[in-house]
Amino acid sequence: MKLRMATTYKNQLLILLFSLSINAFAQYASHSKPNIFIYIADDQNSWDYEIFGNSQVKTQNFDRLVKEGLLFSNAYTTQAVCAPSRSQLFTGLYPMKNGCFANHLPVRNVKDINDFMSELGYEVVLAGKGHIKPNSVFNWTRYFPTNSDRGIPINKVEDYIANAQKPLCIIFSSDLPHGPFPKSNDYNDKPLDYDPTSKRVSSNIGAYKAGYYQNIEDDNAQLGRVLHMLETVSDLDESVFVYISDHGLKGKWSVRETGLKIPMVFRWPKVIAPNTTNDKLVSIVDILPTIVEVSGGKKIESLDGKSLMPMIQNSNTSFRDYIFGIATRQNIQKCYVFPSRSVRDHRYKYVVNYNAKEVVQDNLGSNEHINYFIERGANKFNEVPYEELYDLEADPYEHVNLAKEESFLSIKQKLSNVLNDWMISQNDILVQYKMPIIKPTLHPLDRPSKWNNPKKEYQFTLFSNDYIPSHY
C-alpha cells in the first residue's frame, strides 16, 4: 500500500512539473515579440555588488533584478576589454572571428544585432556609450549618445518608446563605473578593504577605489531610473530585461577570472521564475542568439553563441563544456607585445602566454626593430610563465599555478589540445604567425606618448609591411 501511494504521488508530481513546463513554454510562445532591453555596466567587477557580499557598495537596483530574475553565476566574456567585449555581444562571434580582437579595432563586415533583430521586425536602439565601430556595420535604427555628464539620455529614449511603431530592442550602454573616477566622492573617508580575490587585505587597495565605488553607486542609480522609465512608458513585466557588465576592472586586458567573469541576469516575469540561479558555463556571445529565439527567429548556425532558452526552460540542460579567453595588449596604452589565450572547463583553467620570457627567443626573427618590441613585451611581464594551470574549485582567483605539477600533466594536456583546436577553428593569428604584431590605430608601438616610451633608436622604425595583414 505504501509503495502504491508513493508511486501515485511520484506520478502526480511528474505530471505537475510537466504541466508547469508546458505552461511556461506556452507563455513564452505567446510573447513571441516582446520588447528586449539590455543594460551594460562598464568595467564593474563581478563581486562588487551588495547582493554578492560587498556591503561597502549600494546596488539595490541590480539586487532587485537578481531577486526578480535568473542569475547566470558562471557567465564570461572572451576578452576583458570594452570594445572587444561589446563586439561579442552585438555579433554573437568571438573576437578573432568578428575582427575586434584588440581595443579600437573595427568589426568585420558581419551580420550584427541590428541585422538580426530588424529582420524580425524590431527597431534597434543604442543609448549611451558606443565604443564600437565601424558605423557601416553597426547601423542602429537610432543612436542616442551619452550626455555631457556621462549619463544615458533616458529622457530621449522615453520619448522614442512613446512613439515607437514596432517592437523594440534597446541597449542601455552605461559609461560607468569606468573611469575617470571622481576625486570628490562619498567614499573618501571610508575604509575600503573588500577584495575577495586578494590574499592580502588592505585598507587602501589603490587610489582609484573610492572613486570607483562612487561610480558604481551612480551607475546603480541610473539603472534604477531606466527601470522606472520602462515601468512608466513600457510594459516592463511583458519584456525581457538583460543586465551584464562588459568585463571586470581588476583583470582588465588579461585572461584572469577577475577580468573575464561577468554578472549576467535575465528578467522575464511571465516566463522566468524569480530569484533563480543557473551555474552552467555561459558566454556573452550567447545573448544574441537567445534574444533572436525569444523574438521568434530561427537558430543561427554561423554564430559562436548558443541560445540560452533551453536552460531558461530547464536548468539541468547541458550547455557549454569550455569557456575561452584571449588577451591582446597591443593598441592599449603601453602597447606591449604579450598575447595570451585561455580555456577553462567546469573545474580547471589553462593559460598560455605566448611571448613569455622563457620562450621569447623562439619568437624573434631577422628584423631587429620588430625584435625590440617583441623582447620589450616579454621583459615587461618577465615573471609571467609560459603555461599556467589552476584548480578553480580550490583556487578560484588563480593564486597557485599547477602547470608543472606532474599529477596534473594529463589535465593540462587535455586543455591544451582543446585550446589549440579552438584557436584553429577561430583562424587565430597566433596559429598563422610566429609572433604577430598588429597594426595599431591609436597607440602605435613605435610612437612615444604619455602611455608609451620606446627607446629613441627604435622610434618611428616600423612600417606597414612589419604588421600582420588586417581587414581594414
> Does one domain contain both 53 and 101?
yes
> Does one domain contain both 94 and 4?
no
Band the pLDDT of 471: cuts 50, 70, 90.
Answer: low
Band the pLDDT of 118: cuts 50, 70, 90.
Answer: very high
- 48 lies in a domain? yes
Given a cut of 90, is residue 470 above it in pLDDT? no
- Give the separation between CA 397 and CA 402, rounded to whole angstroms: 13
Longest alpha-carbon distance in the chain: 92
- 85 lies in a domain? yes
Residues 6+ apart with CB under 8 A from 89: 38, 40, 113, 244, 246, 284, 285, 287, 288
> Does one domain contain both 117 and 200?
yes
> Does one domain contain both 306 and 373?
no
Average pLDDT for residues 206-229, to the nearest whole number? 92
- 457 lies in a domain? yes
Last residue of one domain, picked from the residues 273, 297, 320: 320
Lookup result for grid cell 577553462:
344
What's the domain range around 353? 328-466
Band the pLDDT of 207: cuts 50, 70, 90.
Answer: low
CB atoms within 10 A of CB 451: 12
Mean residue pLDDT of the chain comes to 89
- 471 lies in a domain? no
- Give the separation between CA 2 and CA 322, rounded to whole angstroms: 45
Band the pLDDT of 206: cuts 50, 70, 90.
Answer: low
The stretches of 182-308 forming alpha helices (DSSP H) are 209-233, 257-260, 287-294
> Does one domain contain both 120 and 169?
yes
Select which of 82, 100, 169, 335 is catalytic.
Answer: 82
CATH number of the domain within which 70 lies:
3.40.720.10
- 347 lies in a domain? yes
pLDDT score recorded for residue 18: 41
> Does one domain contain both 97 and 196?
yes
pLDDT score recorded for residue 26: 43
Lookup result for grid cell 596534473:
408
Average pLDDT for residues 428-455, to the nearest whole number? 88
CATH number of the domain within which 448 lies:
3.30.1120.10
Query: 383 vs 26, 253, 337, 404, CA distance in Å?
Result: 56, 17, 15, 15
Residues 6+ apart with CB under 8 A from 166: 121, 122, 123
Band the pLDDT of 64: cuts 50, 70, 90.
Answer: very high
Following DSSP, what letter does each residue of 129-153 receive, concatenated? ------TTT---SEEEEPPTTS---
Residues 6+ apart with CB under 8 A from 351: 255, 325, 340, 341, 342, 387, 388, 389, 390
Band the pLDDT of 29: cuts 50, 70, 90.
Answer: very low
Last residue of one domain, picked from the residues 303, 320, 337: 320
> Does one domain contain both 184 and 267?
yes
Count of structural domains within the chain: 3
> Does one domain contain both 25 and 74?
no
> Does one domain contain both 6 and 76?
no
> Does one domain contain both 56 and 150?
yes
- 472 lies in a domain? no
Active site residue 169: no
> Does one domain contain both 239 and 367?
no
pLDDT in tens, 67-81: 999 999 999 999 999
- Give the separation between CA 222 and CA 234, rounded to whole angstroms: 17
Band the pLDDT of 203: cuts 50, 70, 90.
Answer: very low
Given a cut of 90, is residue 373 above it in pLDDT? yes
- 270 lies in a domain? yes
> Does one domain contain both 170 and 240?
yes
Last residue of one domain, picked from the residues 270, 290, 320: 320
Which of 23-37, 213-227, 236-250, 268-282 has the lowest average pLDDT?
Answer: 23-37
pLDDT score recorded for residue 343: 98
- 217 lies in a domain? yes
